[in-house]
């Protein structure tokens, strides 16, 4: 009789039909790694770039607000009011 070979982990990992799953697994590992690195860096106040990151957040928030306000006014035709922007 013909005996079947027992598959090894190496043959299973590198089987051509499993390449899409392997690619997704690599992507997931990289994505989670970068997120945990970011969370660790954020918990340390973005050392040594705290001031630059704070300025970037303010800049990006201002862009987001202005674009959102434009869409609300010009596309949805809604009148809206906001509180005055606090400086500081």
Report yes or no on 2 lying in a domain: no
Decide if 30 is inside a domain.
yes
Could you read off the pLDDT of 16-40 as tens digits, one per residue?
888 999 999 999 999 999 999 999 9
For 13, the domain range is 8-44
29 and 52, same domain (yes or no): no
Same domain, 38 and 53: no
pLDDT of 14 > 70? The answer is: yes
* pTM assigned to the model: 0.58
**Are residues 50 and 82 both part of a single domain?**
yes
Cα angle vertex 38, ends 54, 31, to 5°?
A: 135
Residue 59 lies in a domain: yes
């Amino acid at each position: 009789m013909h005996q079947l070979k027992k598959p090894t982990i190496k043959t299973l990992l590198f089987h051509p039909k499993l390449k899409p799953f392997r690619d997704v697994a690599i992507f997931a590992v990289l994505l989670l790694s970068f997120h945990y690195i970011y969370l660790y860096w954020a918990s340390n106040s973005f050392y040594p770039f705290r001031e630059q990151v704070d300025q970037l957040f303010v800049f990006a928030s201002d862009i987001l607000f202005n674009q959102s306000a434009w869409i609300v006014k010009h596309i949805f035709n809604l009148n809206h009011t906001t509180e005055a922007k606090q400086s500081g």
